[in-house]
Amino acid sequence: MLDYIIVGFGLSGAALASRLEEKGRSFKVFDEGKSNSSKVAGGMMNPVILKRFSLAWNADEQLATANSFYATLERKLDEKLLTPVELYRRFSSAEEQNNWFEAADNRRLAPYLDTELKYDLAEALPAPHGLGRVRHTRRLDTEKMLTTYAVYLVSAGNLEVASFNYEELIVSEDFVEYQGHRARNIIFCEGFGIRKNPFFSYLPLTGNKGEYIIIHSADFRLKVTVKSSVFISPAGNDNYAVGATYNNFDKTPGPTTEAREELESKLKKLITVPYQVIHQIAGIRPSTADRRPLVGQHPEHKNLFCCNGFGSRGVIIAPTVASDLLDLIEEGKVLPEEMDLSRFTRKWFKTPGRN
């Protein structure tokens, strides 16, 4: 009997698989192998919310855990996955500049906000109010990580590329069984796809569509990542990633003209050189209304679990949340209340022991 079945192999599923390997547990991953929001994610490991200069939820602790986790995964896969990134926030006004300095006085934010501003990072990107650097930022190559790790797990017999058929899942008191694979527990890590999951479809996973474009410009010559009304990040060979959009209503999987026009409209107000759009990418982030993950145990089936709802910060969140969920399953440790899915299940189920 396996210890676990994992359904889905995005950031959540990969983090859980790696944690289970560390623990020496047996598991089988099922993933349909299609592109998901994790593969198209920017991979930026930035603890600061740059719109309002605040620290993201538990970001300092999660960042330390994530750096260690991905470094270990690099060694296991013998691949370079993490790259230091110079990230700057472009100020659009003197007020934003003042807010940056005020935030830098905060004890928790101080390690991340550099108060020595820059004004000339790129001639084609004017910044009359300056740019502030965010320290300790790195980028995870999410597509490379997931692709390489999938090959590794397939070779070990731990991952099967196939769609999951819920009707074939047998749920018993002490185990679950799927296509001849019996396990003590099953964890669903399906991202936005969990809306079709009959066990967890009641959860309020709203989904947020994000799109970005790749532009080519030989005259831009930007060497750092800049956040303004959009992110602009070097992608090699005079190419740059520009994004991303946030759309709470469109749940279609493909790129849209509207998103491209929105991004180009903002970009043209920032840079002074010509460019060409050469590619466009779209994905649906598994987001929630309260911007907290959906993690925990099904209220009626004790061996069914969910690990989802990471939104746009899955790269930082996933390693910590994976550990927290396994601590719940194996040691009975209580999950942090703000991410425990029971905050929503109480509305739908009368669960023994819960008010």
pLDDT, one tens digit per residue, over 87-126 is 999 999 999 999 999 999 999 999 999 999 999 999 999 9
Residue 279 CB neighbour total at 10 angstroms:
13
Residue with tokens 């731990």: 158
Q: How confident is the model at residue 289 (pLDDT cuts 50, 70, 90)?
A: confident
Distance (Å, whole) CA 146 – CA 77: 11
Rounded to two decimals, what is the model's pTM? 0.91
Range with lowest mean pLDDT among 6-15, 218-227, 289-298: 289-298
Return the bridge partners of 113, or none: 134
pLDDT digits (tens, 9 = 90+) for 124-177: 999 999 999 999 999 999 999 999 999 999 999 999 999 999 999 999 999 999
d(CA 178, CA 306): 17
> Which H or E run includes 329?
helix 314-331
Domains and CATH numbers, the chain: 2-40+143-203+290-345 (3.50.50.60), 66-139 (no CATH), 208-285 (3.30.9.10)
Is a pLDDT exceeding 50 seen at residue 332? yes
Phi-psi region of 157 (alpha: psi -120 to 50; beta: other; left: phi over 0): left
Rounded distance between C-alpha atoms, residue 73 and residue 299, angstroms: 33
**CA–CA gap between residue 119 and residue 351 (Å, rounded):** 58
From 114-118, 287-291, 323-327, the region with the lowest mean pLDDT: 287-291
Distance CA 39, CA 33 (A): 11
Amino acid at 198: P
User: For 21-72, what is each residue's pLDDT tens digit?
Assistant: 999 999 999 999 875 555 455 789 999 999 999 999 999 899 999 999 999 9
End-to-end CA distance of the chain: 35
Q: Which of 283-287, 295-299, 344-348 has the lowest mean pLDDT?
A: 344-348
Instruction: Give the integer Cα–Cα distance in Å for 114 and 104.
Output: 8
